[in-house]
């Protein structure tokens, strides 16, 4: 009987241990307190914003690439831009003065295929030493087109504020090539030989063999030993 009682007590002891193990509460994973979790969520966007601001500040510190220097804007003197009537009046006066100053000038112009006259070529502000002027091309004594002349450097403008220029086309082919061009440049599309007159102020037409010749007048009369190379002539509407 004692053995039975002991066996029963042993069984109850084992059962009690088993029941105690089953009823042990499960361990839960540690979680951050609600307040701490909320604070971290609020700080996240703030940190991101600060990082963006720091990046922007670093970008501002980078020196921008040096910008190329702006070229001086082309400026044409107002007195150089004229109406068609004003240009023609100036051309008439220039040709009359030419005939007066140069003996044989009238006959010489009458034999020309075309005459390009610039009553006033003046210093312009678009480049140092540059020049600009407007004139007319006359054929048979009548204006057929208006032109402007632009030069990066006019040697004959040294010491002169303005000059008068007459370009005479001796040959028909030279005149045609000039008129067909959209921008004729002396020295590139054709040469302009400046003519010198003798001591008596007479044109020696027997020595003129060039297809295009020119005359440049300053304040003191005909200017010699000069060059029109680099001067560009373009047709304009007036």
pLDDT tens, residue by residue, 30-48: 555 555 555 555 555 555 6
pTM of the entire predicted model: 0.65
Q: Measure Cα distances from 92 to 8, 13, 33, 105, 237 in Å.
A: 147, 140, 103, 14, 19
Inter-residue contact 162 to 114 (CB < 8 Å): no
pLDDT tens, residue by residue, 45-82: 555 666 666 665 665 554 444 444 444 445 676 766 78
State the DSSP code for 25. P
State the DSSP code for 186. B
- For the chain, percent of residues with pLDDT exceeding 90: 33
Phi, psi of 136 (to 5 degrees): -135, 145
State the DSSP code for 202. B
Q: What is the pLDDT of residue 122?
A: 86
Neighbour tally for 132: CB within 10 Å: 23
Phi, psi of 149 (to 5 degrees): -125, 135
The stretches in the chain having pLDDT less than 50 are 2, 6, 22, 24-25, 62-73, 127, 156
Inter-residue contact 121 to 166 (CB < 8 Å): no
Question: What does the DSSP assignment read for 121-155?
Answer: EEE-SSSTT-EEEEEEEEETTEEEEEEEEEES--G
**Where would I find the beta strands (DSSP E) of the chain?**
114-123, 131-139, 142-151, 162-169, 184-185, 193-194, 212-218, 221-222, 232-236
């Amino acid at each position: 009987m004692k053995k039975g009682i002991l066996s029963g007590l042993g069984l109850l002891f084992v059962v009690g241990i088993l029941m105690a193990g089953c009823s042990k509460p499960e361990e839960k994973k540690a979680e951050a307190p609600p307040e701490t979790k909320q604070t971290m969520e609020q700080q996240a966007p703030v940190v991101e914003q600060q990082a963006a601001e720091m990046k922007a500040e670093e970008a501002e510190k980078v020196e921008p690439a040096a910008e190329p220097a702006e070229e001086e804007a082309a400026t044409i003197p107002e007195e150089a831009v004229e109406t068609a009537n004003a240009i023609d009046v100036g051309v008439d006066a220039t040709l009359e003065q030419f005939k007066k100053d140069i003996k044989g000038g009238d006959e010489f112009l009458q034999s020309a295929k075309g005459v390009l006259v610039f009553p006033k070529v003046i210093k312009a502000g678009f480049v140092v030493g540059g020049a600009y002027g407007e004139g007319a091309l006359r054929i048979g004594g009548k204006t057929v087109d208006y032109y402007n002349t632009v030069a990066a450097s006019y040697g004959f403008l040294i010491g002169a504020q303005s000059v008068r220029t007459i370009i005479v086309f001796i040959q028909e082919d030279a005149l045609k090539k000039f008129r067909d061009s959209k921008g004729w440049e002396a020295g590139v599309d054709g040469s302009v030989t400046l003519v010198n007159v003798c001591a008596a102020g007479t044109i020696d037409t027997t020595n003129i063999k060039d297809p295009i010749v020119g005359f440049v007048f300053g304040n003191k009369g005909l200017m010699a030993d000069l060059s029109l190379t680099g001067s560009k002539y373009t047709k304009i509407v007036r």
